[in-house]
Amino acid sequence: MNKKINQEPTAVTVIGLGNMGVALAEAFLKGGHPTTVWNRSANKADGLVAKGAALASTVADAVAASPVVIICLSTYEVMHEQLSPLTDELSGRVLVNLTSGTPDQARNTAIWAAEREVEYLDGAIMAVPQLIGLPETLIFYGGSKTLFEAHAPLLRVLGGNAAYLGDDHGAPLLYDLALLTMLYGSVYGYLHAHAFLSTANISPTAFLPFATNWVNHVIAPSITNPDSARALEERNYATDVSNLNTNKLGLEHIIRASKELDIPAEWLKPLHAIAAQQVAEGYGNDAFERVFEALRKS
Ligand SMILES: NC(=O)c1ccc[n+]([C@@H]2O[C@H](COP(=O)([O-])OP(=O)(O)OC[C@H]3O[C@@H](n4cnc5c(N)ncnc54)[C@H](OP(=O)(O)O)[C@@H]3O)[C@@H](O)[C@H]2O)c1
């Protein structure tokens, strides 16, 4: 006869009920986890309480309510403001901090947690609230592997693609910022493109087929190409495709045309300055990726 092992779902606390915190708490409730919540503005818990969450009246009560505490506040400063006054409540708990910040903030918080005998994982959510709870949703985690593995089933309730990055508590936010800087760079370029087009009354919709073609056939293949990744690793900037000299001139055309059309192009000037310096140093026939030499930590 098969005996079914009945494991009680882990009780969990969510601190911070902004757009993201509400989505995290909802996912836990949906997964059948007893869920306690706390937020500075208590009214944001109303919908969750209606779905079965317990509302703690203080942060201390919220932490004391569950063995695992998920933090999702606006900043690390806010997190420390709320948690640092607590002493005994934190000891022996597992803290999973999904608040955005910098790698150093995460590393310092891991030291802070260890001093209080708190088991600590840092994480970074690579999704919007509407994607929380889906199997493909990516969330990075860093800290003790044993701790991550012990809680992976619970963390997968928030996003099935729970990616463990190693012992370094700063790694999730380093990866997060790497992906975000790619996002902001490309979105700014996209908006600059439309500033150009607006000077001739060309609508974003009319341009869409060309933007789509360009992204899919030129940009995406070039930055997702394993050979390019290897070339950066090896610092090998040989090219027979498009060299630094050509790209420096391309940047000059954009900057000059922006001036003629009276739209800003300040964001490209530092990039142009690096390319111009490298061309002056004799690297004009190298790939544009040589710019990385001026950006990377030496
Ligand atoms: N939204 C997203 O798409 C997304 C995606 C990835 C990561 N994240 C990260 O998730 C975290 C939360 O984002 P969010 O979108 O939920 O932000 P949000 O909607 O602006 O919520 C901010 C949260 O921080 C709390 N808070 C702010 N200042 C506070 C203070 N001085 N004392 C106590 N609580 C304070 C707010 O409480 P009140 O309700 O009382 O103001 C609220 O719970 C951020 O670190 C964000 O970068 C968000």
Q: What's the pLDDT tens digit per position in 160-175?
A: 999 999 999 999 999 9
What mean pLDDT is predicted for residues 246-264?
98
User: Same domain for 178 and 288?
Assistant: yes
pLDDT at res. 26: 98
Q: How far apart are CA 64 and CA 41, in angstroms?
A: 20
Identify the residue whose C-alpha is closest to ligand 1 atom 46. Answer: 100
Ligand 1 centroid from CA 182, angstroms: 23
Q: Is 152 close to ligand 1, i.e. is its CB under 6 Å away?
A: no
User: Same domain for 152 and 42?
Assistant: yes
User: Same domain for 158 and 187?
Assistant: no
Q: How far apart are CA 147 and CA 149, in angstroms?
A: 6
**Residue 5 located in a structural domain:** no
User: Same domain for 194 and 253?
Assistant: yes
**Which ligand 1 atom is the nearest neighbour of the CA of 100?**
45
What mean pLDDT is predicted for residues 38-45?
98
Tokens of 136: 């493909």
User: Same domain for 250 and 269?
Assistant: yes
Which pLDDT tens digit goes with each residue over 85-138?
A: 997 899 999 999 999 999 999 999 999 999 999 999 999 999 999 999 999 999
User: Same domain for 199 and 183?
Assistant: yes
pLDDT at res. 224: 94
**Residue 224 located in a structural domain:** yes
User: Same domain for 35 and 159?
Assistant: yes
Q: Residue 179 sits in a domain of what CATH number?
A: 1.10.1040.10
How many structural domains are present in the chain? 2
Q: Residue 90 sits in a domain of what CATH number?
A: 3.40.50.720
User: Same domain for 163 and 190?
Assistant: no
**Residue 37 located in a structural domain:** yes
**Residue 2 located in a structural domain:** no
**Which ligand 1 atom is the nearest neighbour of the CA of 22?**
16
Q: Is 180 close to ligand 1, i.e. is its CB under 6 Å away?
A: no
Residue 93: enclosing H or E segment and its boundaries? Answer: none
Q: Residue 280 carries which side chain, given as an amino acid letter?
A: A
Which pLDDT band, with edges at 50, 70 and 90, does 31 fall under? very high
Residue 4 has pLDDT above 70, yes or no: no
Q: How far apart are CA 139 and CA 125, in angstroms?
A: 5
Which range marks the domain in which residue 56 is found?
A: 12-168
Q: Residue 56 carries which side chain, given as an amino acid letter?
A: A
User: Same domain for 146 and 18?
Assistant: yes
Choosing from 168, 193, 228, the residue where a domain stops is: 168
Which pLDDT tens digit goes with each residue over 220-240?
A: 999 999 998 999 999 999 999
pLDDT at res. 6: 60
Residue 5 has pLDDT above 90, yes or no: no
Determine the Cα angle at 223 with ends 222 and 229, to 5°: 105
pLDDT at res. 1: 38
